[in-house]
Structure 1
Amino acid sequence: MSVRPARRHLRRATVALLAACALMAAPAAAAAAQPAAGPAGTDPVDDAKKFATPNLPGVNDWSCKPSAEHPRPLILVHGTFDAGRVWAKTAPDYKKAGYCVFSLDYGKSSGLLSLIVGGIDRVSQSAMELADFVDGVLEATGTEKVDIVGHSQGGMMPRYYMKFAGGADKVHTLVGISPSSHGTGRSDFMDALLADAPDLRALLEGFSELVPIGKFVDIPCPACTDQVSNSPFQKRLNKGEDTLPGVNYTTIVTNKDSVITPWKSQYLEGPNVKNYLLQDVCKDNFAQHNNSVSDPVATRLALNALDPEHAVTPTCPTLASSILGLLGV
């Protein structure tokens, strides 16, 4: 059997297994669906824990207290059709740098699809979930502000939180890696996003065939609609200035991005903004939209943005290692 058919059969087996597990878990899923953000409970930490990403080593330690060197907790925010597990490779880098690191799973639907992915609900609703999570992190750590590193929607949605959901005074630094800052020029956002993530696409296609949620193309994704350029959401978010006073902004983008187009639309404008193009830093960088979240140069630039006084010049990989990284080797 060739490598390609073998991988195809493996994906099908994985899809079938996950779908079977989902079906068996359906009653529990209905009873324990992701809670919608709403009126604050009696304990903001307990409210926040409902959204915390599970099983990320060193992440979401609610007893962690920030150090004098890094006085603010760091929140990692995933993108569309994803979950906090996307930070598995890089969360240890932020933890090793000395931060109290937190990660949430947000934007889940109320159906079985929430067992696989998040970041698909209305962005405005997701911003309210982030608001609950930030309040819990602040309460647990005894701090007044957080720093945020977000990927894709996760680099844009916090701007809505700061502008419309009470977060303006609670965020010190926002770093967006391939952020959908002004939306995408592609009307087929979902297809573009999943074309850049073939394994996830195969999983969702198989899931939609085996679980009665309708055809794959009919999977609801309000966040996808919100992230199309000139959508009502984007017009509201980007009316006026891109930034708010008192917050530091950094965007880290790649010109290989085929999801958020044109790629330059990811940049922000304002006196408190730094925009980086990965290929200006390392000319042989081949990071695309989805894998930019784990690109080592992007991670180094994010760490520099969080602690500019101790910035370290990124080490550019060789051309050969860049190609191998692109291939996932």
Structure 2
Amino acid sequence: MRTTRIRAALIAAIMTAVSAFAVSAPAGAAVPGTNDFGCKPSAAHPRPLLMLEGFGGNSDAWRFFAPKLKADGYCLFTTNYGEHPLLKALIPNPIEGIVPMQQSAKEIAPFVDRILAATGAAKIDILGHSEGTMMPRWYLEKLGGAAKVQKFVAMTPLWRGTAFFGAAQLRDLLTPLGLAGPVIGLVHGLCGTCTQALTGSDYLNELNADGEAIPGIEHTNIVTRYDELVQPYTSGIMRDGGTNVVLQDVCPNDVSEHIAVAFDPNVLQLVERALDPEHAKPVRCAY
């Protein structure tokens, strides 16, 4: 009985916290300039760009990047993914990336096919932020998505997960005591992504078994030294391929952290350089 009460209290606390976040988040309507299935890629930008945001947000996370990329001639697409059924029933605004990432990856697959069919393109590019870098790896590596993607630009990626204020270490300490399984099981039932994002998770171990870089894909990884959620931030530096960019190596006075990179004009310039290196311009650092 006591265990049942504790479980109920924990569920209520998590739902309350997420609900509070959701109320403050904008509505999840498509960002202007995105999801125009009549858009035809130009010779300058021949591949549609799928933008995948991070945990707990929705497609509104691209409201800063989208207008500028659209003005540059990209066909842009976004989609809300990974909504928890309970939250979806209780909260009007989409809160994404809650369910296990394998499930979210299965949602992404048909959306990519729809983009390709509508635009006539052979491949897409992906711009991901936070979970939007981890989740599509399952699609690329396990669901045949790699053959449909040319460039993968990752902002604050966590290829090797995050320690997240000692959560990964606590899990490892509880394992010999036989306590890690029940705790992980409870958290995973409420937030499948939360346990998968931790360093050393089964999800990441399976993906990294054959390396971090995905053959045939052009990787660019943009990290910030001030990332408070990816711990250490070097988890986003790919060890076996790709181009790794530390934001502060380009703009030393830029203090953008994990969330702020999605609203950072310096990061936008780095993204544009990665997507179109042939027409790359020097980054003009703004503060």
TM-score per shorter chain, which class?
0.7 to 0.9
Q: Who is 1:81 aligned against?
A: 56
**Distance (Å, rounded) in 2 between the aligned partners of 1:115 and 1:180:** 29
**Distance (Å, rounded) in 2 between the aligned partners of 1:183 and 1:175:** 17
SS at match of 2:245: strand
- What is the TM-score when the length of structure 2 is the normalising length? 0.80
Superposed, which structure 2 residues align to 1:1-329 within 5 Å? 18=23, 54-113=29-88, 115-116=92-93, 117-186=95-164, 220-271=190-241, 273-317=242-286, 322=287
**Structure 1 residue runs of 4+, over 6 Å off?**
none
* Structure 2 gaps, min length 5: 1-18, 168-186
Alpha-carbon shift at residue 54 of structure 1 (Å): 2.6
**Distance (Å, rounded) in 2 between the aligned partners of 1:289 and 1:179:** 10
**Distance (Å, rounded) in 1 between the aligned partners of 2:206 and 2:22:** 42
SS at match of 1:57: coil
SS at match of 1:131: helix
**Distance (Å, rounded) in 2 between the aligned partners of 1:241 and 1:225:** 21
Alpha-carbon shift at residue 291 of structure 1 (Å): 1.2
Q: Who is 1:202 aligned against?
A: none
SS at match of 2:243: strand
Alpha-carbon shift at residue 132 of structure 1 (Å): 1.4
Q: Who is 2:7 aligned against?
A: none
* Letter of the 2:152 counterpart: L
Contact 2:30 / 2:59 at 8 angstroms: preserved in 1? no
* Letter of the 2:245 counterpart: Y
Contact 1:76 / 1:103 at 8 angstroms: preserved in 2? yes
Is the alpha carbon distance of 1:218 and 1:274 closer, same or farther for their aligned partners in structure 2, counting shifts above 3 Å?
Answer: closer
Alpha-carbon shift at residue 77 of structure 1 (Å): 0.1
Is the alpha carbon distance of 1:187 and 1:238 closer, same or farther for their aligned partners in structure 2, counting shifts above 3 Å?
Answer: farther
Is the alpha carbon distance of 1:83 and 1:303 closer, same or farther for their aligned partners in structure 2, counting shifts above 3 Å?
Answer: same
Q: Who is 2:184 aligned against?
A: none
Cα distance per residue 1:102-148 (max 9 Å; x no partner)? 01110101123563311111011111111111111011101110000
**Distance (Å, rounded) in 1 between the aligned partners of 2:146 and 2:35:** 23
Contact 1:78 / 1:151 at 8 angstroms: preserved in 2? yes
SS at match of 1:184: coil
Name the count of aligned residue pairs: 245
**Distance (Å, rounded) in 2 between the aligned partners of 1:101 and 1:182:** 28
Contact 1:58 / 1:101 at 8 angstroms: preserved in 2? yes
**Distance (Å, rounded) in 2 between the aligned partners of 1:308 and 1:251:** 14
Alpha-carbon shift at residue 244 of structure 1 (Å): 2.1
SS at match of 1:111: helix
Is the alpha carbon distance of 1:18 and 1:246 closer, same or farther for their aligned partners in structure 2, counting shifts above 3 Å?
Answer: closer
SS at match of 1:120: coil
Contact 2:188 / 2:195 at 8 angstroms: preserved in 1? no
**Distance (Å, rounded) in 2 between the aligned partners of 1:54 and 1:264:** 34
